[in-house]
């Protein structure tokens, strides 16, 4: 019995898919290397942009024929598509789908599979899954079998939902209000990942800086980072990251904590979305372009060698050419390390969809998107060129097409060639080539693995 999950969208969806995979493996299913061989096929959907929603429906439409030929296969839909649309209409459009799962909730699939089995088999599977759950502490996550010992970097959700409600964003409607996990549950999650070979954890939240705001007198993100850092030192977790931040909630306390803790990486993801104050107000972002500018300067002052990533939306309703150019200018001025770019698309039930007209032509959105892409490519090429000839520390994630692939503390992608198994190791490499999206490096001759390679018998 095999399963396959297609994951679209953000890191939170990746974590949700991992959770679903773990539950399926507790029931005896295993990952299908070939999706066509899967007995269970799931699409974990994203609807933050119209293009993402179209991609989800495209994938599901391709599964319609598979279901027609093999009616016993189980088709599931998970994520933000479930509930965004009217449930009756969604089921009418996707009548061949067996299971609909809200974000972060694999239970409907588990219940459906139990009901499909004969009563005695269902009882056996239920008892097996319950015994495995009882063997774990609260918050612990058992990785899918194909990831155990192979997954170097993993995501740990720390706060679900969002209570900010930007006018363009569908997430609050889909994932609900903020709900922070307890420190104990998060710690158990991190410890279980460490036991399964994970070397880097990324703490996740739609606005991760608001961790603990829903807990009276509870800890904040800075407090949580200190606790997770202690756990990392005990368990061998080498690196800690967190995302995504919001300019309104990034405190001096948090920035100083990042600067003080050696295992928390100098990598901040804090979206600006637009560089014009009127557009920012229409988006209900809660800050001005100048306030964002000052925040970037502060981050760079407090955290040495920090890399700052951002998000930008082009073509928001009523965005003029002059307003777009303010975005262009601030990105050119601040020279951030990465910009995730998107073209605006109205999402159901959002304020911008209900009250604003999507009046920037698609061709104009595309032109603005391409202008920012070209600018960012030039900036990144110049930033990365400074690494040429430098020695950087890389956490090695995997072997990719004959080269080892890893990331620097600033989350920059580096490839190098070396014999042996370097997966999960911190390696110092000398950069020999740089481009805007990645770098090539070589291993200094004097460097060796932290552990001896096994001696193979003749």
Residue ranges of domains in the chain:
2-135, 140-265, 268-385, 391-442
What are the tokens at 133?
A: 């759950």
Q: Can you give the pLDDT at residue 426?
A: 97
pLDDT (0 to 100) of residue 174: 80
User: CA 198, CA 25: separation in Å to the nearest integer?
Assistant: 19
The architecture that CATH gives domain 268-385 is 2-Layer Sandwich (3.30)
Could you tell me what percent of the chain has a pLDDT over 70? 91
Q: Which pLDDT score, from 0 to 100, does residue 204 have?
A: 97
Q: What is the pLDDT of residues 116-168, one digit of tens each?
A: 775 545 555 555 555 555 545 555 678 888 888 889 999 999 999 998 889 99
Q: CATH topology for 2-135?
A: Rossmann fold (3.40.50)
- Position 126 scores a pLDDT of 59
Query: In the prediction, which pLDDT does 455 show?
Result: 37
Fold of 140-265: Transcription Regulator spoIIAA (3.30.750)
Where residue 217 falls (left for φ over 0; alpha for ψ -120 to 50; beta otherwise) is left
The residue among 256, 269, 336 whose CA lies nearest residue 302 is 256
Q: What is the average pLDDT across 43-61?
A: 89
- In this prediction, residue 134 carries a pLDDT of 53
268-385 shares the fold of 140-265: yes
pLDDT at residue 371 greater than cutoff 50: yes
Q: What pLDDT is stored for residue 457 in this prediction? A: 37
More confident residue, 62 or 122: 62
Give the mean model confidence (pLDDT) for residues 353-357: 94
pLDDT confidence of residue 248: 96
- The predicted model gives 248-267 an average pLDDT of 98
115: Cα separation from own chain's centroid: 33
The CA radius of gyration of the chain, in Å to the nearest whole number, is 23
- Judged on CB neighbours under 10 Å (0-12, 13-18, 19+), 166 is buried
Question: What integer best gives the mean pLDDT of the chain?
Answer: 90
19-23, 86-90, 95-99, 245-249: least confident range: 86-90
The reported pLDDT for the residue numbered 120 is 47
pLDDT mean over 228-250: 97
Superfamily of domain 391-442: Nucleic acid-binding proteins (2.40.50.140)
Residue 247 reports pLDDT greater than 90: yes
Name the percent of the chain lying above pLDDT 90: 70
CB of 269 closer than 8 Å to CB of 275: no
Mean pLDDT, rounded, for 406-411: 98
Q: Which residue's entry shows tokens 């980072």?
A: 225
Answer for the pair 313, 168: CB distance below 8 angstroms, yes or no.
yes
Lowest mean pLDDT among 43-47, 112-116, 362-366: 112-116
How does residue 456 score in pLDDT terms, banded at 50, 70 and 90? Answer: very low
- Distance CA(249)–CA(307), nearest Å, equals 18
> Which pair of tokens denotes residue 153?
């970097």
Is the confidence at residue 458, as pLDDT, over 50? no
Tell me the pLDDT tens digit for each residue of 292-337.
999 999 999 999 999 999 999 999 999 999 999 999 999 999 999 9
Instruction: Quickly tell me which residue has 């951030």 as its tokens.
Output: 336
What residues pair up with 394 in beta bridges, in sequence order? 427
Q: How far is CA 107 from CA 101, 122, 348, in A?
A: 8, 15, 26
Q: Does the pLDDT at position 172 exceed 90?
A: no
How much is the pLDDT for 223?
Answer: 97
pLDDT band per the 50, 70, 90 thresholds, residue 452? very low
**What is the per-residue pLDDT for 136?**
54
Q: How confident is the model at residue 454 (pLDDT cuts 50, 70, 90)?
A: very low
Question: How confident is the model over 391-396, as a mean pLDDT?
Answer: 98
E strand spans, 215-294: 239-243, 267-269
Q: Can you give the pTM of this predicted structure?
A: 0.81
Give the three-state DSSP class for 318: coil
């Amino acid at each position: 019995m095999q399963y396959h999950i297609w994951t679209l969208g953000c890191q939170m969806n990746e974590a949700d898919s991992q959770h679903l995979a773990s539950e399926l493996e507790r029931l005896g299913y295993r990952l299908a290397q070939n999706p066509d061989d899967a007995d269970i096929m799931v699409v974990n959907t994203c609807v933050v942009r119209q293009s993402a929603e179209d991609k989800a429906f495209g994938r599901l439409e391709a599964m319609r024929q598979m279901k027609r030929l093999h009616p016993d296969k189980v088709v599931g839909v998970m994520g933000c598509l479930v509930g965004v649309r009217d449930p009756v209409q969604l089921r009418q459009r996707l009548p061949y789908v067996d299971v609909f799962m809200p974000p972060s909730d694999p239970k409907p699939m588990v219940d459906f599979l139990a009901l499909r089995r004969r009563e005695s088999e269902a009882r056996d599977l239920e008892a097996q899954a319950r015994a495995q759950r009882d063997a774990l502490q609260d918050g612990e996550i058992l990785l899918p079998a194909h990831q155990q010992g192979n997954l170097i970097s993993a995501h740990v959700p720390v706060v679900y939902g969002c209570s900010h409600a930007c006018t363009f964003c569908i997430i609050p409607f889909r994932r609900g209000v903020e709900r922070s996990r307890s420190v104990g549950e998060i710690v158990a999650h991190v410890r279980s990942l460490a036991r399964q070979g994970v070397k880097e954890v990324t703490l996740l939240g739609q606005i991760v800086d608001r961790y603990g705001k829903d807990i009276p007198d509870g800890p904040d993100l800075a407090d949580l980072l200190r606790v997770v850092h202690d756990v990392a030192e005990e368990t061998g977790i080498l690196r800690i990251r967190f995302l995504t931040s919001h300019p309104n909630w990034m405190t001096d306390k948090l920035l100083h904590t990042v600067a003080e803790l050696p295992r928390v990486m100098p990598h901040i993801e804090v979206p600006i979305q637009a560089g014009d104050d009127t557009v920012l107000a229409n988006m209900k972002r809660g800050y001005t372009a100048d306030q964002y500018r000052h925040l970037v300067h502060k981050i760079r002052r407090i955290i040495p060698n920090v890399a700052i990533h951002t998000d930008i939306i082009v073509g928001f309703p009523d965005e003029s050419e002059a307003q777009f150019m303010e975005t262009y200018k601030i990105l050119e001025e601040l020279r951030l390390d990465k910009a995730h770019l998107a073209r605006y698309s109205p999402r159901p039930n959002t304020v911008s969809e209900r009250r604003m007209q999507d009046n920037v032509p698609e061709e104009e959105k595309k032109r603005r998107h391409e202008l920012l892409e070209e600018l960012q490519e030039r900036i990144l090429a110049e930033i990365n060129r400074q690494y040429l000839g430098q020695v950087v520390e890389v956490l090695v994630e995997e072997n990719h097409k004959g080269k080892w692939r890893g990331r620097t503390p600033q989350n920059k992608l580096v490839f190098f060639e070396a014999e042996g198994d370097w997966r999960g190791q911190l390696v110092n490499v000398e950069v020999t080539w740089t481009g805007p999206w990645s770098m090539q490096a070589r291993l200094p001759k004097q460097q060796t693995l932290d552990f001896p390679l096994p001696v193979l018998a003749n």
